[in-house]
Amino acid sequence: MIERTLENKRTLFSFDHAPVGIVWHDADGKIIHVNRYASRKLEYSPEELAGCYLYKFVVLDTGKEKGSYYGEAPGEGTLHNLCTKTGKVIPVQVLVYGADADAGGFGCAFFTDITEKVRLSEILQAFQQKKTGPHSKGSRNCLPPNEKNPREVFRDFIGESKATGALFKLICCVAATPTTVLISGETGTGKELVARKIHELSGRKEKRLVKVNCATLPAHLVEGELFGYERGAFTGAHARKPGRFELADGGTIFLDEIGEMPLEIQAKLLRVLQEAEFERLGGTATLKVDVRVIAATNRDLPELVRQGRFRTDLYFRLNIFPIHIPPLRERKEDIPLLTQFFVKNFCTVLNRIPKTVPLKFMDRLDAHDWPGNVRELQNVVERACILSTDDSLEADCVTFSSVPMGEHADAPLTFEENERRYILSILEQTQGKIFGPDGAAVIMQINPRTLISRIKKLGLSRPSTAA
């Protein structure tokens, strides 16, 4: 019957595969047809649902009567709970359109499962209330039932500063979505920690979190590592190897130091982000993946874009939901809690007696600017735990690493500059010889033609003695 109210089968197919629940009903609220999403969420087959009243599956507030929501204005979103075949109750957001004579006397209801949204909202509420303590008024039921240990939820976020709270709020907002996230911040601020927490709080937490450090992969290996390769794709490719995106299918991939990725690979990454598909190196088959991408950098990506070293389109594709982690010097109120956490941890790991943190020790920490951020604080506390022989940390044991900072600091080499220096050193070693058993291509374990292409792209010149 419902097919006659739709324009064609193609429209019906689109509704049937929509990522929301769609329920067609008559003027009395009796179900005529449901799409796949609705059938899966309610745990009934479409045939079982046909002829039932829609209100049968809705758990209304005690102050409402069954079916009362049909009187609400069409298109107005309301929150309800649906009861499934197995008795599970899921929170949903509902849009109800009443029966319309122009549509053959049929109405339609749309609903979306917001379980993850509710769960993360409760976790965020617990995070905001956790400083009141486990026995304080109003804190007893601040966590959802499946979150048994509050310390497990917040174990990676030590601190009560406004900046830490704002950071955790952003994580909770984006975790339940498939949105691409770009994390920025100075070295040592905990970018990988944030990426891991987003994954743990997402619906992909049962799948893998695959980590890739783009700065540690040579240019000629990046494509094969990310997208995999077929047997014979290059010298040394003796068997097919799946790439990191394949390994992360259904889960999350974390691309650290994304600003170091070579330009030619950036174009292929852009395609994966836009189309969710790619080919293995040396292959022709197109592979589809469902991967959530989280990227991180301590570089100024807009500046790299202006310099032509990072693709503009890729930057905007990654920067959908930016998260900036503030440096430790901007949230010094977190230092005491972080210090206590590190002291307790290191005393256990290093087999030291429990130590207290005197005020003089904290004053030394508070006066420091922390260029290395939380990682530097962790190192300072570990050294102090080792050197302090008493049951309290000694202020004299606080030592800071001396590093050039500010305008006197040497800018880190780019991936391309590292590659340029590496190729030049090998060419000098082989006196410019590329081919043959003692040539540069064999030493670098890449195809000679690939090496020649890289030499041209980088604008390098071989020694005049080249054979």
**C-alpha distances in Å from residue 343, one per residue of 96, 131, 143, 256, 348:** 56, 20, 28, 29, 9
Please answer whether residues 82 and 41 qualify as being in contact, where contact means their C-beta atoms are separated by less than 8 angstroms: yes
439 CB neighbour count, 10 Å cutoff: 18
In angstroms, rounded to a whole number, what is the distance separating the alpha carbons of residues 291 and 249? 5
In angstroms, rounded to a whole number, what is the distance separating the alpha carbons of residues 47 and 26? 16
pLDDT in tens, the chain (467 residues): 455 444 555 555 567 767 788 888 887 778 888 888 888 888 888 888 888 877 677 665 434 444 433 334 334 456 677 777 777 778 887 777 766 655 566 778 888 887 767 766 666 666 556 544 443 333 333 333 344 444 455 566 787 788 888 888 888 888 888 899 999 999 999 999 999 999 988 888 889 999 999 888 776 678 888 888 888 777 777 888 888 999 999 999 999 999 988 888 888 889 888 888 888 888 888 889 999 999 999 999 999 898 888 999 999 999 999 999 999 999 999 999 899 989 998 988 888 888 899 999 998 998 898 999 999 999 999 999 998 888 888 888 888 875 544 443 444 556 777 777 788 778 877 878 888 888 888 888 888 888 888 887 776 766 554 44
247-257 pLDDT tens trace: 999 999 999 99
Which class is 328-407 in CATH?
A: mainly alpha
pLDDT computed for residue 142 by the predictor: 36
Please answer whether residues 401 and 376 qualify as being in contact, where contact means their C-beta atoms are separated by less than 8 angstroms: yes
Q: Which residues face 121 on adjacent strands?
A: none
Please answer whether residues 265 and 222 qualify as being in contact, where contact means their C-beta atoms are separated by less than 8 angstroms: yes
Question: Domain boundaries in the chain?
Answer: 2-113, 119-132+143-324, 328-407, 415-457
156 CB neighbour count, 10 Å cutoff: 13
Question: 119-132+143-324 in CATH: which number?
Answer: 3.40.50.300
Residue by residue, DSSP assigns 278-332 as EE-BT---EEE---EEEEEESS-HHHHHHTTSS-HHHHHHHTTEEEEPPPGGG-G
Reading the block at residue 250, the tokens are 């259904």
79-113 pLDDT tens trace: 677 777 777 778 887 777 766 655 566 778 888 88
CATH 1.10.3720.10 matches 2-113:
no
Supply the pTM of this predicted model: 0.62
112-146 pLDDT tens trace: 887 767 766 666 666 556 544 443 333 333 333 34
